[in-house]
Structure 1
Amino acid sequence: MARNVEFNEEEAIQKAMDVFWEKGYKGASLRDLTDAMKINSSSLYNTIGDKQELFVKCVKHYTGIRRKDIEQRLASKAPAFTILKKYIDDAVTVIITGANGCMAIKAVFEAATDDKRVTEALKADSDYAYQFLHDLIAKAMEEGDISKDEDAELLADYFISTWTGWHESYLLHKDPLKIKRMAQYFIKQISK
């Protein structure tokens, strides 16, 4: 009788997520994934499912981490503009120090069109980030740090698309100063 392999599923998902993050969905082999997770393929199929199921779980795990980060920021008692600037600074740090770029951006371009569950998880993540940014911007407007003439919806959308462009720019140019300058310019443009 075959022995059932017991493992911590959350840790295994984290390890598989790192493989997908580095190699992408198509570049990650089943062997890469099971080696990282320290399980055999039959254990994967018996507990999680196939590679696609694992990828969906990894995307949901990744977006869950991002949601927790936003929730921690929301718990801050700092002024909204301070939270917003810190979020932008942290985004820049992730872009210029992260070896693999943004997993969500990679997944959108590589796999989101192939699986509705991936699309839904990434859309929910984007919507949550948008709401977070919108609310921070609106509050910063109320607090007088951003002009009330600005449009919170437009600025939130603009930041999300700009942030994606920063990732692309860094992948192509590997110029941290360029990314930092664009972030400073964005902050300067929205500051009152």
Structure 2
Amino acid sequence: MARIVEFDQELAVRRAMEVFWEKGYKGASLRDLTKAMQINPSSLYNTIGDKQELFVRCIRRYTDDRKEYIAQHAASSRSPLQTLKLFLDDAVTNVITGERSCLAIKAAFEVAGEDERIKSILKDDEDAMYRFLRSLLAKAMKQGEIRKEDPELITDYLLSAYTGWHESFILHRDPVKIQRMARYVLKQLSR
């Protein structure tokens, strides 16, 4: 009779996510993953599947966490501009204190071009971020907190800037540079 495999899958996926975050999809070996997850390879195959399926689950978990974060900010009672400032402050903090950069950005560059499921998950994640930022900008404009511009264009710009901040920090390790860029964005919106 086959042995019943029991372990906390959510915890195991989070542990595997840390390995993928550090080493990337291609750099993470099955041994690295199962060691971090504190399971044997057969338990992985019997419950989750292969490395690819595990990666999909990790990216879903990561993007679900980000969506929860967005929902918390969206439910904020602050003004739209204050919520946007807090969001950008958090983004800057994430960039300059996160040793490994953004897992979604890493996955987009490493795997999304080759894997439609990962691409779809990441697109859904970006779409959620887009809707959140676009809504904040439109509300801030309507309330006169920032000048009226094209909220879609500004949202696209903010999302691109965030990706660029990660790249800049990876290359230069200059937190002041990232902070200055974020302040500049807010200054441009407030004109």
TM-score range, shorter chain: over 0.9
Counterpart check, 1:189 vs 2:188? yes
**Residue 3 of structure 1: CA displacement?**
3.1
In the alignment, the residues of structure 1 paired with residue 22 and residue 5 of structure 2 have an alpha-carbon distance, to the nearest angstrom, of 26
**Residue 4 of structure 1: CA displacement?**
2.8
**2:17 alignment partner in structure 1:** 17
Q: Which amino acid aligns with 1:107?
A: A
**Residue 170 of structure 1: CA displacement?**
0.1
Q: Name stretches of at least 5 consecutive residues in structure 2 with no aligned partner.
A: none
Q: Which amino acid aligns with 1:84?
A: L
**1:8 alignment partner in structure 2:** 8
**1:63 alignment partner in structure 2:** 63
Q: Which amino acid aligns with 1:177?
A: V
**1:42 alignment partner in structure 2:** 42
**1:76 alignment partner in structure 2:** 76
* 1:30-58 deviation digits (Å, cap 9, x = unpaired): 00000010000000000000000000000
Q: Do the aligned residues in 1 keep the contact of 2:5 with 2:47 (CA within 8 Å)?
A: no
**1:171 alignment partner in structure 2:** 170
TM-score relative to the length of structure 1: 0.98
Q: Do the aligned residues in 2 keep the contact of 1:4 with 1:43 (CA within 8 Å)?
A: no
Q: Which amino acid aligns with 1:115?
A: D
C-alpha RMSD over aligned residues: 0.8
Task: Give runs of aligned pairs for residues 136-155 of structure 1, distance below 5 A.
Answer: 136-148=136-148, 150-155=149-154
Q: Name stretches of at least 5 consecutive residues in structure 1 with no aligned partner.
A: none
Q: Which amino acid aligns with 2:6?
A: E
**1:100 alignment partner in structure 2:** 100
What is the number of residues matched between the two proteins? 191
In the alignment, the residues of structure 2 paired with residue 50 and residue 59 of structure 1 have an alpha-carbon distance, to the nearest angstrom, of 14
Following TM superposition, the consecutive aligned residue runs of length 4 or more in structure 1 with deviations greater than 4 angstroms are none
Q: Do the aligned residues in 2 keep the contact of 1:5 with 1:39 (CA within 8 Å)?
A: no
Q: Do the aligned residues in 2 keep the contact of 1:134 with 1:152 (CA within 8 Å)?
A: yes
**Residue 2 of structure 1: CA displacement?**
5.0
TM-score relative to the length of structure 2: 0.98
